[in-house]
Amino acid sequence: MSHSLAKVHIHLVFSTKQRDPVLHDEVRGSLHRYIAGVIRLSGCIPVRANSVEDHVHILFELGRTVALSSVVEDIKTTSSKWLKTQGEEFKGFRWQTGYGAFAVSASKVDECIQYIEYQREHHRNHTFVGEYRAMLEAHDIPFDEKYLWD
């Protein structure tokens, strides 16, 4: 085969430091657009981003020659710097250190998009902590609770 082809969708999830509920409605739309731009500049294709007060869900197509860790670092570093310019309440803003990244099957992309779009409704009944644990367990990702949160 003379060409290298790939289509890998990643569902990326990370929270604000200490899960502080600082992502209010007035900044979230701009944040999602900013993150989409960062993803494009990283050589990937943004599909959907959404957030609630304390965490973000992003679905994107990973570029064929791009390392996942590099894209995540770009997203978190540049969006954190950008958020710090959005008002006094964001001067000390930080994302959590870690993240969760989950492969999404082509047959589940639409389902994942819907899940991301309806985060506000989802979190009326589910906490981020419970949601994140469930995602790790569903993907058979072992974790130690004492290292999961910061």
In terms of DSSP H, where are the helices of 23-144?
25-41, 68-83, 109-117, 119-122, 128-138
Task: Please say if the pLDDT value at position 15 is more than 70.
Answer: yes
Report the pLDDT averaged over residues 6-16.
Answer: 97
Q: Residue 57 sits in which domain range?
A: 8-148
Instruction: Give domain status of residue 39, yes or no.
Output: yes
Chain segment 97-127, per-residue pLDDT in tens: 999 999 999 999 999 999 999 998 888 888 8
Let me know if residue 1 belongs to a domain: no
Q: Is residue 80 part of a domain?
A: yes
Q: Cα torsion for 26, 32, 33, 37, to the nearest 10°?
A: 150
pLDDT tens per residue, range 48-101: 999 999 999 999 999 999 999 999 999 999 999 999 999 999 999 999 999 999
Instruction: Kindly report the CATH number assigned to the domain that includes residue 103.
Output: 3.30.70.1290
pLDDT one-digit tens code per residue, 16-56: 999 999 999 999 999 999 999 999 999 999 999 999 999 99
pLDDT score at 105: 96
Measured distance CA(14)–CA(88) in Å, rounded: 23
The token pair that represents 23 in the structure block: 């992502």
pLDDT of residue 1: 57
Looking at the domain assignment, is residue 3 inside a domain? no
The domain total for the chain is 1
Q: Angle CA(78)–CA(82)–CA(87) in degrees, nearest 5?
A: 155
